[in-house]
Amino acid sequence: MLRLFEQHAIRPQTELEGMWDFQPLAEGEDWPSDYAYSMPVPGCWEQHPDFLTYRGRAVYRKKIKVRQAGRLRIEFKGVSHTAEVFFDGQPIGKHYNAYTAFSVLVPDVAEGAHELAVRVDNRFTEDSALHVPNDYYTYGGIVRPVAMETIGEAYIERIRFMPSLNNGEWTAEVGVLLRNVSNQTKTVQVRATLGGEYPIDFGETAVPAGEAAWVGGSFAFSGAAAWSSESPRLYELEARLYEPGSPEPFDDLIERVGFREVRLENRKLLVNGNPVFLKGFNRHEDFGVVGCALPLALMAKDVDLMLDMGANAVRTSHYPNDERFLDLCDEKGLYVWEENHARGLGIDRMKHPLFEKQCEDCNREMIEQHGCHPSIVIWGLLNECDSDNAEGRPMYEKQFAQIRGMDGSRPVTSATCKHFTDICLDLGDIISFNLYPQWYEDVDPEEPYLKELKWAEESGGAGKPVIVSEFGAAALYGFREPTRVKWSEERQADIIDRCLEVYMSRPEVVGTFIWQFADCRVTEGSGWLLSRARTRNNKGVVDDFRRPKMAVEAVKKHYRNNSPL
């Protein structure tokens, strides 16, 4: 399943979910002579006993049947981490980054049998600035869904929807991106309907040969209901493409949107004009046996577990998430801080020749692909990178500008661990601190927080709301100890309890994000990675199979009962 709603009523779409032929590639080998394995798509190859720790290249192959000659568009929701796509042996596209979608076009495909193949690489090479050995695992494989579509000479590539609230009435900027893949100018009519009740006519437009063009405008939606975490009302926005004068559309795209406005005012986070406190978790896409390729049932379990603890927010640490997870957040009412892909990259890595381009691509794809989700209320960037470095600062500036340039409707922030040295606090809309009192340092959370706040206010952060974007402690599931020593479930519960008590009582704090929801696999390594027992980051309040640790009760105590507003 690609999304939690149908995206096309007209355009033929086939999901390529299932078993694909699979073969790892030896060093220096570019193509397999045979395929000895089959692997599920979507899925991580680490789920197969022969590939539990495989880091390398492999080819996935699928025989496909094309029932009607024409143009194909094939969409990959996520390949980890580099994909080269081949159709009938011909290269047709390449993409870097596990966490954003991409598509390829194949013109003039004859009816009959064809072969789709993807060469996948999850190695940490010099071609990868963002996927590096880290405190989460870079799995391998076609880890998110794949779909094949038949398109005509022109099609709808994307929909943009940006709502705003004026005197209790909703308006929205609605845009439809059209692409003409023929070699002559194509004139089309574009119409849309929101929720089956609000018709929108974009009129006629001419799209030059081989190019893309936006149609759009600002529209009033009188009487539309708002989206919020308590009342997550969604609307389907159905855009259709017509030949001029024809009553029958020849292409369509359906998005699901919500009327939700986020603003910062007087150090508060306002959703639809009402102050909101984000009771959040950090979550990695990772689950015991399936790695990062969680099926829908497990994604839904995560959302339900977080809601059950009283949470109303999740941070997609540290990369854009699967759209089905975001769809669930839209449906079930979980606010989302979505962030670009970067964790703890120092200045040397930031000066990597591909860093800027790979970040820029990830930011652009994240916003283009996820901008319609009403649940996303914050964009985040460059978690714990070198925001204390004079050479790092212009990179932060550039990325804040890029994101704001694409979407001015959501606050942008960056979680920092550069205590008393950060030189980028003036750039974000919210100050976001990652703090680990009582874990990495044996200190009560209150005093260091107050010191850090004072310093941040004098260092560019004055008047900004604060989010404590990470805090927590590790515990090994099942390790219960009357001494309450570190790594015991008791100690983790004590630390989370105290941190929530302190942070949720601060007037400038608009959100707390516990590190982390569930234990996750990390790269095996030396140095600090050796402090990760079991090769896991064990700071989950549930373990990698979602079994609850004692901390779950501490979280419930605060998140279910405490309303700091």
Residues contributing to the site for ligand ADA (CB under 6 A): 135, 318, 343, 383-384, 417, 434, 470, 515, 537, 539
Question: Between 343 and 521, whose beta carbon lies closer to ligand ADA?
Answer: 343
Q: Toward ligand ADA, which CB reaches closer, 179 or 539?
A: 539
- Shortest Cβ 206–ligand ADA spacing (Å): 49
Measured from the CB atom, is 318 or 373 closer to ligand ADA?
A: 318
Which of 379/515 has CB closer to ligand ADA? 515
Query: Taking phi first (over 0 means left), then psi (-120 to 50 degrees means alpha), and beta for anything else, what does residue 210 get?
Result: left
Strand pairing report for 335-339 and 376-380: parallel
DSSP-derived secondary structure letter, 146: E
Query: CA–CA distance from 72 to each of 407, 459, 477 (Å)?
Result: 30, 53, 48
Supply the minimum distance, in Å, between the C-beta of residue 286 and ligand ADA. Answer: 12
* Residue (229 or 383) nearer to ligand ADA, CB: 383
Query: Cα 240 from chain centroid?
Result: 27
* Minimum gap (Å) between residue 318 Cβ and ligand ADA: 6
Alpha-carbon distances, residue 42 vs 147, 204, 259, 292 (angstroms): 11, 39, 32, 10
User: Minimum distance between the CB of residue 406 and ligand ADA, rounded to whole angstroms?
Assistant: 24
Min dist. Cβ of residue 163 to ligand ADA (A): 31
CB of 302 to ligand ADA, least distance (A): 17
The amino acid occupying position 104 is V
CB 106 within 8 A of CB 72: yes
Which CB sits closer to ligand ADA, 158 or 343? Answer: 343
Looking at the Cβ atoms of 413 and 537, the one nearer to ligand ADA is: 537
Query: How far apart are CB 539 and ligand ADA at their closest, in Å?
Result: 5
Which H/E stretch holds residue 491? helix 489-503
Q: What is the dihedral sign for C-alpha 292, 341, 118, 256? A: positive
Choice between 46 and 135, CB closer to ligand ADA: 135
Q: Which of 147, 155, 148, 149 is nearest to 211 (CA)?
A: 155
Euclidean distance between CA atoms 134 and 449, whole angstroms = 27
Q: How far is the CB of 284 from ligand ADA (least distance, A)?
A: 8
User: Cβ-closest residue to ligand ADA?
Assistant: 135
Lookup: tokens for 192: 């849309």
Using a 10 angstrom Cβ sphere, with 0-12 exposed, 13-18 middle and 19 or more buried, the burial of residue 260 is buried
Tokens of residue 268, six digits: 């508060």
DSSP string computed for 187-208 = EEEEEEEETTTEEEEEEEEEE-
The first and second tokens of residue 16, run together, are: 């390529």
Q: How far apart are CA 312 and CA 24, in angstroms?
A: 42
Identity of the residue, 198 or 287, whose beta carbon is nearer to ligand ADA in the bound complex: 287
Give the Cα separation of 338 and 146 in Å (integer). Answer: 22
Rounded-to-integer distance, Cα 80 and Cα 94, Å: 12
CA quadruple 135, 141, 145, 146: dihedral sign:
positive
Of residues 481, 484, 483, 470, the one with CA closest to residue 539: 470
Minimum distance from residue 475 beta carbon to ligand ADA (Å) = 12
Which residue, 271 or 502, has its beta carbon nearer to ligand ADA?
502
Q: Which one, 135 or 386, has the nearer CB to ligand ADA?
A: 135
User: Among 332, 327, 289, which Cα is nearest to 2's?
Assistant: 327
User: Cβ closer to ligand ADA: 470 or 544?
Assistant: 470
The CB-of-396 to ligand ADA minimum distance in angstroms stands at: 16
Supply the minimum distance, in Å, between the C-beta of residue 383 and ligand ADA. 5
Min dist CB 135 to ligand ADA, Å, is: 4
DSSP notation for 419-456? TTT-S-TTTSSEEEEE--BTTTB-S-SHHHHHHHHHHH
Nearest to 336 by CA among 385, 303, 301, 384: 303
Calpha distance 503→242 (Å, rounded): 55
User: In the complex, what is the shortest distance from the CB of residue 134 to ligand ADA, in angstroms, rounded to a whole number?
Assistant: 8
Nearest approach in angstroms of CB 172 to ligand ADA is 34
Cβ closer to ligand ADA: 218 or 421? 421
Closer residue to ligand ADA in complex, CB, 260/539: 539
Q: Which residues pair with 162 in a beta bridge?
A: 173
Rounded CA-CA distance 25/29 in Å is 6
Distance CA 322, CA 222 (A): 32
The edge-to-edge listing of strands for the beta sheet with 251-257 is 198-207, 186-194, 235-242, 251-257
